[in-house]
């Protein structure tokens, strides 16, 4: 009986390890000052195994900073040398650089796709966004949101705007193209608190 239970436990551990390995993606640094791969596409919630050389970092930046090989963090993930696990739950494109070597073009992107194909709904009923559709701006009201972060994601999964919230905030949208966007609210730890669709018209 004990042998049978031991075999079941062993089988469960093997299956768990196989399942984790099957769904885990990885990014590593190379000796030629690149990330391998430099473009990774995963589904939301997929663990990403990071292996970063001691002289490098993996620092999330905005798209504009990434395009300029800049190094200013956007407040997202930031890893020094070592082995880490990164899990991204919000669909979109994440841009990152190696701070010491960004000027040499050491950077990469992670595209996170929805794991269900169905737009997630807001889980906080107190959030108010108006007007929606918006034109040159909108107001977002959400009790307890002081210190949280708003991110605007376009239909291609790109972050087009972000700002810290104070509880009753005006968000300028006049510089954005008309179309459909997603408003994502994150707490100080980066966890999603709310998610709402937004339409911009002209």
How many alpha carbons lie under 13 Å from residue 147 in its C-beta half-sphere?
5
The pTM of the full predicted model, rounded to 2 decimals, is 0.52
- Residue 136 CB coordination number (10 Å): 11
Site of tokens 């436990």: 9
For 72, the token pair is: 């200013």
- Domains of the chain, earliest start first: 24-113 (2.60.40.420), 128-200 (2.60.40.10)
Q: What is the pLDDT of residues 31-74, one digit of tens each?
A: 899 999 998 888 888 899 999 998 999 999 988 899 999 999 88
Nearest-angstrom CA–CA distance, 81 and 55: 7
Q: What is the pLDDT of residues 140-186, one digit of tens each?
A: 988 888 889 998 987 666 788 999 998 889 999 999 998 888 888 88
């Amino acid at each position: 009986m004990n042998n049978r239970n031991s075999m079941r436990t062993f089988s469960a551990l093997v299956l768990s390890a196989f399942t984790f390995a099957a769904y885990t993606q990885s990014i590593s640094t190379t000796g030629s000052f690149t990330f391998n791969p430099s473009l990774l596409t995963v589904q939301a919630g997929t663990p990403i195994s990071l292996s970063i050389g001691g002289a490098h970092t993996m620092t999330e930046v905005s798209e504009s900073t990434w395009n300029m090989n800049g190094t200013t963090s956007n407040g997202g993930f930031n890893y020094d040398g070592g082995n880490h696990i990164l899990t991204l739950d919000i669909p979109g494109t994440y841009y990152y650089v190696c701070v010491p070597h960004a000027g040499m073009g050491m950077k990469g992107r992670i595209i996170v796709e929805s794991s269900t194909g169905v737009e997630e709904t807001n889980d906080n009923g107190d959030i108010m966004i108006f007007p929606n559709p918006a034109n040159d701006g909108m107001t977002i009201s959400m009790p307890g949101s002081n210190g949280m972060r708003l991110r605007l994601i376009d239909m291609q999964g790109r972050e087009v705007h972000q700002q810290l919230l104070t509880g009753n905030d005006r968000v300028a949208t006049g510089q954005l193209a008309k179309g459909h966007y997603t408003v994502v609210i994150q707490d100080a730890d980066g966890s999603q608190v709310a998610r709402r669709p937004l339409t911009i018209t002209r």
